[in-house]
A and B are shown apart, each in its own frame.
Chain A
Amino acid sequence: MLEVSELKAQPGFSSEQLSHLAVDAKSDPAAFGRLYNQMVQPVYRYIRSRVSSPHEAEDLTSQTFIAVLEGLHAYRERGYFSAWLFRIARSKVMDHYRRSRVELPLEAVEDHVGLDDALNGVVRSDQLERLARLIRARSEDERELIRLRYVADLSYAEIAQVLGKREGAVKKTMYRLLASIKSQME
């Protein structure tokens, strides 16, 4: 049985350290505990930014970590563990929408939930409200880029692996996207 250590505020692991830790976690329950403690909040936040309720986010976060636990033995230390993890999380979200597609097409669903609903109850300035609206108006691909960068806190290299793109291309797209949003703000 796996034993997961008590949740503690974790030091920030580098991407490389996380990948090493994931390899250790194949046979080391304590290492898995550290991975969990380090990654559970970013994964939850990312999923929460894509679904309409905390309950759904908790369910999909659970599914994600169970899949990680079950698949970790086959994790290969090639590329970033965080990219591997977030690809599983994205897959769980996509499955979730695929199952509920009969009610609303995916794009329509995502337009009504995610970044918007996730922020209910959060008091923000007018400027932040305007910024959030501008981000919601962007394409799904652009919003996903923003989620991975500013909700999941992934590096550009990690985002590139999640999306299967080149790091330079991701960075360029993000810079242009933010520049465009900033110009709309001004």
Chain B
Amino acid sequence: MSDLQPSVEFEDQVRQAVRPPDADPEFVRRLRAELASRPARSHPRFALRPAWAFIAIMAVVIAAASLPGVAQAVRQWFAFVPGIGLVQPNAPARMLDVPAAVTRDGITLTVEHLLVYADRTELAYRVEGLAPAPAVSGGEVCSGAEMYPRLRLPDGSVLAADPMGLGGARKVSGYTAGHSFSSGIPAGVSRLTFELTCLQDAPRGAAPEEWSLELRLVAIPEGTQVGQPLTGAETAAVEQQAGTGINFDFLGGARQEDGYHFFFRFSAQDSHPDFLAARPRSMYLLDSSGARIELINARPWSPFDRVDVWEYRAVLPPASGEMTLVVDGAELFYLGQHASFVFAPGAGAPVGQTWEIGQRFNIGGRDFLVERAEKIALEGREGFQFTVAAGSAQEEISVDLIDMHSAPEYSVWSTTGDSGLAQRVTAGFVYEGGVPETLTVTFNTVSVAADGTWRLRWSAPETP
């Protein structure tokens, strides 16, 4: 192959021959401004498109849910499709006629769900019989684009899965995976082929590759419920925590192999312009045997996400019978980017040097005092960490500090410091390639603990 390696000069010629001009700087500026004005999206599976339809539906939901007798009906609008998440039962236009499976060398791949919407397609598949990957693998493993499925249409065109999985889980001898495709499937196409180069994280060559499965789509028959209905909301009794302005609205649960998934709204009434989101501080269930089982968020999340319905799952299957779900406190997140300060550590400060800051900021109606700075080193990179105290001794906070403004030669890397809530916390960042002598430190987000307990008594449906 080395004999064929092109010369640098020839590669330059090819580059010149094919390279179009750069984008107009004015377009680049406009697009940057447009992106800056858009909120980050949280949950694409549930942000039903088109957007106006979703907004209209949710407006009706929120208004109607407050009426007696209507809330239960509203809950039945949602169903759970393993691997895909929460769906509206009537929203997809077509689905698989039957799950399709193929077995090769003892490994079975089953495409369990394919939901076709007007503007997107969602798919979930399962792999069973796959030998556990060795803890240490010296060879190449299936990763990146190769582990994303494709849908080949009869005309030869191929839909590649969006490189953002919908969900999925590792199993002892396989895995489940959900994927979305950023377009629907033309109405006239009812047969298509699922293709997969290799199985997720499998050492290359150790398991069959180049998987292919024929799929057939059918219109969703009238009256067919897509997905697993959420259950138990009818019998659930919620004890709200008065005085917090936060409402816990339980939509139901869905039994899964790994326990239950629970769906709920956690709505905070906070009119402060800095307010971003509220989430449970911690959540657990007490099952009928008295065991306490932690509940964890089943989806990736950041404070910039706007979650309508939260999905939490039990880390262990609970005993059958009545259980109590407990939300133990809340965490309220606020945008802090209007609050920043200039910090000038100068050149050559050693790691461990400290500076007194003593600057106070108001974010989300709360006071935050930046007490001091310290030069730190983390994994070979140097940076700064700041001690921030809540405005009152009773308050617990967390902060995320960033340097948004340093010259580009100072690449800012991951934030450091405490991740939990406390009256006094540290937060900071490190730099790649040197530390600036003067920097502007900005509060990205802050969060504040809110006391309160929300309880829900719930009886799990009998195991079939």
Binding site for B on A (CB under 8 A): 1-5, 7-11, 13, 17, 20-21, 24, 26-34, 36-37, 40-41, 44-45, 48-49, 54, 57-58, 61-62, 65-67, 69-76, 78-80, 83-84, 87-88, 90-92, 94-95, 98, 106, 115, 118-119, 122, 124, 127-128, 131-132, 135, 146-147, 150-151, 160-165, 171-172, 175-176, 178-179, 181-182
CA distance A45 to B20 in the complex (A): 6
Asked if A178 and B6 sit within 8 Å, CB to CB, the answer is yes
Tell me if B18 and A73 are in contact (CB < 8 A). Answer: no
A28 to chain B, nearest CB (A): 6
Instruction: Let me know if B24 and A69 touch, CB within 8 A.
Output: no
Assuming A1-B36, A179-B4, is B163 touching A88 (CB within 8 A)?
yes
Query: Would you give the shortest CB distance from A184 to chain B, in whole angstroms?
Result: 12
A7 adjacent to B35 (CB under 8 Å): no
CB–CB B1/A7 < 8 A? no
Q: Is B301 a contact of A30 with CB atoms below 8 Å?
A: no
How distant is B300 from chain A, measured CB to nearest CB, in Å? 6
Query: B19 is contacted by which of A9, A21, A45, A78 (Cβ under 8 Å)?
Result: A45
Contact of B18 among A41, A87, A115, A163 (CB under 8 A): A115
9 contacts between A and B (CB under 8 A): A40-B32, A45-B21, A61-B31, A66-B34, A74-B44, A74-B165, A132-B18, A150-B11, A165-B146
Other-chain residue from A36, A79, A98 in contact with B183 (beta carbon distance below 8 A): A98
Q: Which residues on B sit within 8 Å (CB–CB) of A162? A: 145
Contact A171 B414 (CB under 8 A): no
Q: Does B114 contact A (CB under 8 A)?
A: no
In the assembled complex, the Cα of A164 lies from the Cα of B144 at a distance in Å of: 8
Say how far B428's CB is from chain A's closest CB, in angstroms.
Answer: 13
Whether A175 lies near B1 (C-beta < 8 A) is: yes
**Chain A residues with CB below 8 A from B409, complex form:** 11
CB–CB A73/B36 < 8 A: no
* Residue interface bits B12-41, CB-to-A below 8 A is 1, else 0: 011111111111110111011111111111
Contact A44 to B407, CB < 8 A, known contacts A98-B183, A150-B18: no
Q: How many angstroms between the C-alpha atoms of A96 and B291 in the bound complex?
A: 55
The answer on a CB contact under 8 Å between B164 and A76 is yes
Q: Is the CB of B145 within 8 A of A87?
A: yes
Q: How far does the Cβ of B145 sit from chain A's closest Cβ, in whole Å?
A: 4
Separation of A74 and B40 alpha carbons in the complex (Å): 11
Interface residues of B, CB < 8 Å — how many? Answer: 78
* A30 and B412 within 8 A (CB): yes
List 8 tightest A-B contacts by C-beta distance, closest first: A79-B144, A118-B20, A74-B164, A30-B404, A27-B302, A44-B23, A175-B4, A161-B144
Q: For residue B305, which residue of chain A has the nearest CB? A: A73
Q: Is the CB of A29 within 8 A of B18?
A: no
The residue of chain A having its C-beta at the shortest distance from the C-beta of B33 within the complex is A4
Please measure, in the bound complex, the distance between the C-alpha atom of A55 and the C-alpha atom of B211, giving whole angstroms.
39
Residues of A within 8 A of B144 (CB): 78-80, 83, 160-161
Interface: B162 (CB within 8 A): yes
B432 at the A/B interface (Cβ < 8 Å)? yes
- Asked if B197 is at the interface of the complex by the 8 Å CB criterion, the answer is yes
Contact call A131/B17, Cβ cutoff below 8 A? yes
Contact B44 A71 (CB under 8 A): yes
Question: Quick check: B19 and A75 within 8 Å, CB to CB?
Answer: no
| Residues on B with beta carbons closer than 8 Å to the beta carbon of A131 | 13-14, 17
In the assembled complex, the CB of A130 is this many whole angstroms from the nearest CB of chain B, namely 9
Docked Cα-Cα span, A67 to B25, in Å, equals 21
- With contacts A7-B32, A87-B163 taken as known, whether A151 is within 8 angstroms of B411 at the C-beta atoms is no
* B372-414 interface code vs A (CB 8 A; 1 in, 0 out): 0000000000000000000000000000101111011101111
Bound-state Cα–Cα, A24 to B432, Å: 14
Chain A contacts of B18 at CB under 8 A? Answer: 49, 115, 119, 132, 135, 146-147, 150-151
- With contacts A9-B408, A61-B23, A72-B40 known, is A90 near B160, CB below 8 A? yes
